[in-house]
Amino acid sequence: MFLFLVICFFLPQNKPSHLAPLKSKYFADIDNKKLNPLPIVDNKINVRFMSMCWFINCVDVQEVCFVDGEKYDLNLSRHHPIVDTHMQVYHDPDIVDTNYVTWVDTPNTPRVLINPESFLNSRCAQYEECVNRFHWVISTSVGDEGMWPYFLPGSIHSSFLSDIKKVDFQQEVLNPKLMFRREDQLEYESNATFTEPYKPAIASWFTSNCQSTKYVQREQYVMELMKHIKIDSYGACAHNRDLKNNNRFDPDQKSRILSKYKFYFSFENSYCRGYHSEKSFQCLQNNVVPVMMTHPDNLKLMPRGSYIFVGDFKSAKELAEYLTKLENDDVEYQKYFTWKSDPVILKEWYDYLVSFYGNASPYCKLAELYINWIKQGGWTLSKSRPLKNVCLRADYFPILSKQ
């Protein structure tokens, strides 16, 4: 594997302007005194959502959780009375906006921060003065008290391991792409203004967060790729193709579109260890090869032989040449789908996901944390510490080759 100069960084702890609303009057830094926890009655645990949770749905949720073989009912709501609440949950994207957060300082109730975004893009988790106001953190960062997965191992098992069978490469993989190309060509040639022969796009991209910094330059990378291969970009970044219903949040539409291309650019919004969003998993579900721009440690979260890693190439041009080669060689392209019929690879993948994420939902991790804390006598809870999570700078993935 080609390794470019790896530049890792530890995020700074300077106070950003967006933390200004976070004042001690809302809740204080944790003082390490012994808490007097609310006892668990009839194996029922109440968790109160303290923020609006715009990122995920914070409607009332009931989950059945098993901790050490014992069944517990976990009830999550924004409406639990404070006196009946075992834990308070705050969502990182809301934490510094007083319009979205209910601030209640209850010294005996553990406070939990949930960050479903990357460490680099967190509003609170990366800053010591903010994260130190919480006892536990559940996030995408390796090393926190719990991991927030975009796909649970159980869903991976039901999608890929419950019925392992040989993939009909022609019927399941190639034919949907060939059919789309025929339809696309007819539509193209029906336009009286076309002047050049039809050329199919071999890859698609859906991204509308076009911000470029020293930590992410994915739009620039795709635009360089576009100089060498045809790409259909449906999002705002490098946009060149419209969606039929103009709804980029329609998951069914995205799945239908994904399956029509040989490749999809699964470029994350930051390259942090542990942050692995749904993009590449959607490719696996739709018989598309993901071209991944992510922290290399995250590749372990994918089945062997299922993806192409941008970090293996010296430049965008070199990557484009490799994709063109696969476009013209179905035998080589087919190798990226053999994992689907290989029980050894599938079990290896599933076992790693279980070891990495656990097999319970992130919310059941809350129950596990609380129950184990109670069993240990409700000792003093230390304040959480911000993980010095290793993220990569954008130049880990060189756009142009070094002469």
Cβ 339 vs Cβ 346: under 8 Å: yes
Backbone torsions φ then ψ of 2, nearest 5 degrees:
-75, 130
Res 57: pLDDT: 55
- pLDDT > 90 in the chain, percent: 51
pLDDT at 33 over 90: no
Q: What average pLDDT does the segment 12-21 reach?
A: 56
User: Of the given ranges (74-78, 102-106, 202-206), which has the lowest mean pLDDT?
Assistant: 102-106
Question: Is pLDDT at 14 greater than 90 in this prediction?
Answer: no
Query: How does the average pLDDT of the chain come out, rounded?
Result: 85
Write out the DSSP string of 157-181: IIIIITT-----IIIIIIHHHHHHH
pLDDT the model gives residue 99: 60
What are the angstrom distances between the C-alpha of 284 and each of 10, 156, 161?
32, 10, 13
At 8 the pLDDT is 45
C-alpha span between 272 and 392 (Å, rounded) = 6
**Which residues are registered as beta bridge partners of 101?**
51
Which residues on neighbouring strands pair with residue 77, listed in sequence order? 48
pTM summary value: 0.86
Strands 231-233 and 146-147: unpaired
Greatest mean pLDDT among 93-107, 122-136, 332-346, 387-401 lies in: 332-346
State the Cα–Cα distance between residues 98 and 167, nearest whole angstrom: 52
Q: Collapsing DSSP states into helix, strand and coil, what is residue 139?
A: strand
Cβ–Cβ < 8 Å for 277, 207: no
Query: What pLDDT does residue 172 have?
Result: 95
Eight-state DSSP code of residue 263: E
Express each pLDDT in 225-275 by its tens digit. Answer: 999 999 999 999 999 999 877 666 677 788 889 999 999 999 999 999 999
pLDDT at 369 exceeding the cut of 50: yes
Strand (E) or helix (H) holding 285: helix 279-285
CB burial of 93-109 (b: ≥16 within 10 Å; e: otherwise) equals bbbbeeebbeeeeeeeb
Full set of structural domains in the chain with CATH: 29-149+359-390 (3.40.50), 153-353 (3.40.50.11660)
- Average pLDDT for 365-383: 79
Which pLDDT belongs to residue 27? 53
pLDDT > 80? residue 39: yes
Interval 149-167 mean pLDDT: 89
Across 292-314, b (16+ Cβ under 10 Å) vs e yields bbbbbebbebbbeebbbbbbebe
Q: Report the candidate in 23, 20, 398, 340 with the shortest Cα–Cα distance to residue 217.
A: 398
pLDDT at 66 over 70: yes
Is the pLDDT confidence value at 80 over 90? no
Report residue 25's pLDDT band, with 50, 70 and 90 as the boundaries. Answer: very low
Position 82 scores a pLDDT of 83
State the pLDDT at residue 102.
Answer: 67
Question: String of b and e for 110-148 (b: at least 16 CB within 10 Å)?
Answer: bbbbbbbbbbbbbbbbbbeebbebbbbbbbbbbebbbbb
User: Residue 355 CA to chain centroid, in angstroms?
Assistant: 17
pLDDT value at 182 more than 70: yes
Alpha carbon distance 243, 245 (integer Å): 6
Residue 23 pLDDT exceeds 70: no
